[in-house]
Amino acid sequence: MLINILSGDKPRSVILTVLLLGILVALAFAPFLFPGVRSLETAARICIFIVLVASYDLLLGYGGIVSFAHTMFFGLGAYGVALASENMGRGWGSLAVGTVAGAVAAAVLALVIGLFSLRVRAIFFAMITLAVASAVAVLVSQLSGITGGEDGLNYSIPRELTPAFRLGEFLGVKINGKLLNYYLVFFASLALFLMLLRVVNSPFGRVLQAIRENDFRAEAIGYRVIYYRIAATCLSAAVAALAGSIFAIWLRYVGPDTTLSFEIMLDILLMVVIGGMGTMYGAVLGATIFVLAQNYLQNLMGAASEATTGLPLIPDLLNPDRWLLWLGVLFILSVYFFPTGIVGRLREGRRA
Amino acid sequence: MSAAPDHTPTFAQISLSERIGKAAPLLLVPVMVALGFLAIGSPSSWLTLTVSGLAMGMMIFIMASGLTLVFGLMDVINFGHGAFISVGAFVGISVLLVLGSWTGAPSLALNVAAVMLAVIAAMIITGALGWAFERVIVRPVYGAHLKQILVTVGGLIVIEQMIHVIWGPDEIFLTRPETLKGAFTFAGAAIEKYRLLAVVFGLVLFVAMRLVFKRTKIGLIVRAGVQNGEMVQALGYRLRLVFIGVFIAGSALAGLGGVMWGLYQEVITAGMGEEMMILVFIVVIIGGLGSVEGAFIGALLVGLLQNYIAFLEPKLALVSNIALMTAVLMWRPQGMMPVVKAK
């Protein structure tokens, strides 16, 4: 039963199993274990990023395709919900319409980009997605009449999902709409993640892996490489858009910085690489570690920077604004020395 | 023994359509200029826009040429190329700011000397940086596209952030040297001096590059290496050394492009390389990966189209490049002038 839920893809390492269970329990009971607005915010972010990173892993880790447009799809989902809520008014209907519209738009856009670039060379895809994603980001901030431009959009979601909707108290924690909203995020993310796990362990996922290892041979065996690559692109785009929709429902705000920026794209790349490409569970570990680090390490950097004020250059290097610098270094080092990521290392350890 | 069968090889005449097909990309630039003329209507605005489009195209070409060659020669795709553009701009502009008394003087000789010094400094620094980049970042991941993309993106971020650390987080504004300021009027159209200079400079550089490729031995090795690297190595040339040389030269050219772009925009930011990378990628893709001529034509097309569209319908300027790329890829999925690989 349990193995069926995991689609037969067991963690295959004791430490990994313990870590995953720990993360699952922590996220499932986050409002009770870690009361407070900030920790709930962090927990929701982790859930959403697990889905986003897992959908990217489908593309990068299983399909061997590098895309720089994943935030664009994420943003499409988020703006779908935002625009629907803005124009159709507050209600569950507009959330549903926005979510579906965002996912469909993402899949169609992915199909078009894939048809143009994957047909020839897989590396075209990396460049073209970079170009298209930056064009879309600029477009969104320019079309301020529709998208709110740089300021983004604030909108209201059904009352049942906001803190104003109170139900009472349980174990010293207020049960309100925010809590319900968190569980919506949690269960939607869990369902999407399990679905992705199902996909990568299906015959379809197997073929994708075969294409990643040797596309020429896969084609020779009789699989149409291009179909599989495009299908993976569309699926991953649609799931990213769904993650974006969940994010928009949780945050009640969308803006270019929170959904479309290149920085988020880098975050996703780093989470996949640190966690372990092509493992799905890597997405869970990568996203959890990264979001926690992002939330709490930046404060540490600020403190370190202040502590070293007298020295030349070092305070500048430790400035919290230079967070990206250290990410970049970490990124390069992990691609070199840690290509299988945490999950890969844990699994190797068991075999040895 | 019977005589060998009569065999006289015949060469089929190349049909007219095939000839046109080969030359078609070359015709695109004049076609684009003519279409621009029809769309804009006023000859003087058209002339101004054409000059600035060509200037922009030349600068993009200078930045793109290194990238496309590096790919053609060693199958290395360098997403960190944009970092060299930014570094070049910052080094060059810093030199110009230090030489403020030279650039402020209304003397052509002093101005040109200052710009030359800035360019040389920028090219040396970016060339050295390119060498280090190849050594540290690119070399360990030969033959693996996926890792190349990831690692070079990491390199781009690190270099960009180091610019922030060294030069501070703010953009730097500058003014062009005295004699390069302003515009002159030609046939009723205002033409900025600097843009015309950029066009001339770009053309000279392109011709020089072509001469190196077509007339010198090193050019021959590079061209042969792009077509069939293994054979070149089998003939006894150390292609790795050639490649490192091309990588350094390409990085230095990116730095040069950065200085020129900085002078053109009169403001530089650490993120400018990343922004230019988008255009550079579009140019390299529509030109055909590995093809210098293709990149040249692609760059001119992108520059011209962007300027025309920015005049006609400003909001569409960025999307127009994507549309151009889509159109070209629909016509020729490998790019306009794909490099024929002998494999």
Q: What is the pLDDT of residues B135-169, one digit of tens each?
A: 888 888 877 778 888 888 889 989 988 898 888 88
Interchain proximity B333–A120, CB inside 8 Å: yes
Which residue of chain B is at minimal alpha-carbon distance from A331? B154
Who wins on pLDDT, A158 or A288? A288
The CA distance from A221 to A214, in Å, is 11
Which residue of chain B is at minimal alpha-carbon distance from A333? B151
Whether chain A has a CB inside 8 Å of the CB on B139: the answer is no
pLDDT at A1: 67
Residue B334's pLDDT band (boundaries 50, 70, 90)?
confident
Residue A348 has pLDDT above 90, yes or no: no
Give contacts of B318 with chain A, Cβ < 8 Å: 134-135, 138-139
Which residue of chain B is at minimal alpha-carbon distance from A143? B315
Residue A166's pLDDT band (boundaries 50, 70, 90)?
confident
Closest CA–CA distance from residue A7 to any residue of chain B (Å): 28
Chain A and chain B share a number of CB contacts under 8 A equal to: 102
The CA distance from B286 to B58, in Å, is 16
Q: Answer whether residue B321 is part of any domain.
A: yes
Q: Give tens-digit pLDDT for A231-240.
A: 999 999 999 9
Across the interface, of A60, A128, A335, the residue whose CB is closest to B154 is: A335
Which residue of chain A is at minimal alpha-carbon distance from B142? A336
Q: Are A244 and A74 in contact (CB under 8 A)?
A: yes
pLDDT at A323: 77
Interchain proximity B145–A123, CB inside 8 Å: yes
Best A125, A127, A140, A229 member to test B by mutation, with max B CBs in 10 Å, is A127
Q: What is the mean pLDDT of residues B45-52?
A: 88
Residue B343's pLDDT band (boundaries 50, 70, 90)?
very low
Across the interface, of A117, A135, A322, the residue whose CB is closest to B161 is: A322
Interchain proximity A331–B146, CB inside 8 Å: no
Question: What is chain B's mean pLDDT, rounded?
Answer: 85
Residue A175 has pLDDT above 90, yes or no: no
How much is the CA Rg of chain A, to the nearest whole Å? Answer: 21
The CA distance from A128 to B285, in Å, is 8
Give contacts of A138 with chain B, Cβ < 8 Å: 318
Q: Give tens-digit pLDDT for A48-69.
A: 999 999 999 999 888 888 898 9
CATH of the domain at B93: 1.10.3470
Residue A220 has pLDDT above 50, yes or no: yes
Q: How does DSSP assign A318-333, residue by residue?
A: H-GGGHHHHHHHHHHH
Task: Give the residue among A315, A266, A97, A16 at the shortest CA–CA distance from B158.
Answer: A266
pTM of the full structure: 0.85
Residue A40 has pLDDT above 80, yes or no: yes
Residue A210 has pLDDT above 70, yes or no: yes
pLDDT at A145: 77
The CA distance from A59 to A66, in Å, is 7
Whether chain A has a CB inside 8 Å of the CB on B231: the answer is no
Which residue of chain B is at minimal alpha-carbon distance from A116? B329
CATH of the domain at A159: 1.10.3470
pLDDT at A15: 83
Q: How many domains in chain B? A: 1
Residue A296 has pLDDT above 50, yes or no: yes
Q: Answer whether residue B50 is part of any domain.
A: no
Q: By CB neighbour count within 10 A (0-12 exposed, 13-18 middle, 19+ buried), where does A171 fall?
A: exposed
Lowest-confidence range among A169-173, A176-180, B63-67, B290-294?
A169-173
The CA distance from B130 to A329, in Å, is 17
Give contacts of A116 with chain B, Cβ < 8 Å: 326, 329-330
In chain A, % of residues over pLDDT 70: 95
Residue B325 has pLDDT above 90, yes or no: no
Q: What is the mean pLDDT of residues B112-118?
A: 88
How much is the CA Rg of chain B, to the nearest whole Å? Answer: 22
Residues 112-131 of B with CB under 8 A from A: none
Q: What is the mean pLDDT of residues A109-126?
A: 82
Domain range holding B213? 59-171+187-331
Task: Give the residue among B78, B76, B85 at the shortest CA–CA distance from B264.
Answer: B85
Q: Are A239 and A301 in contact (CB under 8 A)?
A: no
Token pair in block for residue B120: 């040389």
SS (H, E, C) B16-53: HHHHHHHHHHHHHHHHHHHHHHHHHCCHHHHHHHHHHH
Whether chain A has a CB inside 8 Å of the CB on B157: the answer is yes
The CA distance from B74 to B143, in Å, is 9
Query: Residue A168 carries which DSSP code?
Result: E
Which distant-in-sequence residues (6+ apart) come within 8 Å of A350 by Cβ?
A12, A13, A14
Query: Residue B134 carries which DSSP code?
Result: I
Whether chain A has a CB inside 8 Å of the CB on B154: the answer is yes
Q: What is the mean pLDDT of residues A24-48?
A: 86
Interchain proximity A335–B161, CB inside 8 Å: no
Whether chain B has a CB inside 8 Å of the CB on A322: the answer is yes
Q: Are B60 and B257 in contact (CB under 8 A)?
A: yes
pLDDT at A326: 82
In chain A, % of residues over pLDDT 90: 30
Torsional class of B60: left (φ above 0), alpha (ψ -120 to 50), beta (otherwise): alpha
Best B285, B305, B313, B316 member to test A by mutation, with max A CBs in 10 Å, is B285
Whether chain B has a CB inside 8 Å of the CB on A262: the answer is yes
Q: Parallel, antiparallel, or unpaired: how do β-strands A253-254 and B189-192 relate?
A: unpaired
Residues 237-296 of B with CB under 8 A from A: 274-275, 277-278, 281-282, 284-285, 289
Q: Answer whether residue B110 is part of any domain.
A: yes
Token pair in block for residue B251: 């990085």
Q: What is the mean pLDDT of residues A346-352?
A: 67
Give contacts of B151 with chain A, Cβ < 8 Å: 332, 335-336
Torsion, CA A52, CA A54, CA A59, CA A64, rounded to 10:
130
Residue A109's pLDDT band (boundaries 50, 70, 90)?
very high
Q: Answer whether residue B240 is part of any domain.
A: yes
Q: How many domains in chain A? A: 1
Give contacts of B162 with chain A, Cβ < 8 Å: 325
Token pair in block for residue B186: 């030609």
Q: Give tens-digit pLDDT for B252-275.
A: 999 999 999 998 888 888 888 888
Length of chain A: 352
Domain range holding A236? 2-351
The CA distance from B172 to A1, in Å, is 62
Question: What is chain A's mean pLDDT, rounded?
Answer: 85
Give contacts of A327 with chain B, Cβ < 8 Å: 157
- Phi then psi dihedrals of residue A328, to 5 deg: -60, -45
Give contacts of B158 with chain A, Cβ < 8 Å: 325, 328-329, 332
Best B81, B156, B158 member to test A by mutation, with max A CBs in 10 Å, is B158
Closest CA–CA distance from residue B339 to any residue of chain A (Å): 13
Across the interface, of A126, A324, A329, the residue whose CB is closest to B149 is: A126
First to last CA, chain A: 29
Q: By CB neighbour count within 10 A (0-12 exposed, 13-18 middle, 19+ buried), where does A246 fall?
A: buried
Q: Give tens-digit pLDDT for B52-106.
A: 899 999 999 999 988 888 888 777 888 889 999 999 999 999 998 888 777 777 7
The CA distance from A266 to A273, in Å, is 11
> Residue for token digits 């919290």?
A320
Q: What is the mean pLDDT of residues A69-91?
A: 89
Q: Answer whether residue B31 is part of any domain.
A: no
Residue A352's pLDDT band (boundaries 50, 70, 90)?
very low
Token pair in block for residue B223: 């061209």
The CA distance from B310 to B37, in Å, is 14
Q: Are A58 and A273 in contact (CB under 8 A)?
A: no
The CA distance from A134 to B275, in Å, is 9
The CA distance from B221 to B238, in Å, is 10
Residue B341 has pLDDT above 70, yes or no: no
Whether chain B has a CB inside 8 Å of the CB on A311: the answer is no
Interchain proximity A313–B165, CB inside 8 Å: yes
Angle of helix A70-88 relative to helix A225-251, nearest 10 degrees, comes to 50
The CA distance from B216 to B223, in Å, is 11
Residue B196 has pLDDT above 80, yes or no: yes
- Phi then psi dihedrals of residue A244, to 5 deg: -60, -40
pLDDT at A53: 94
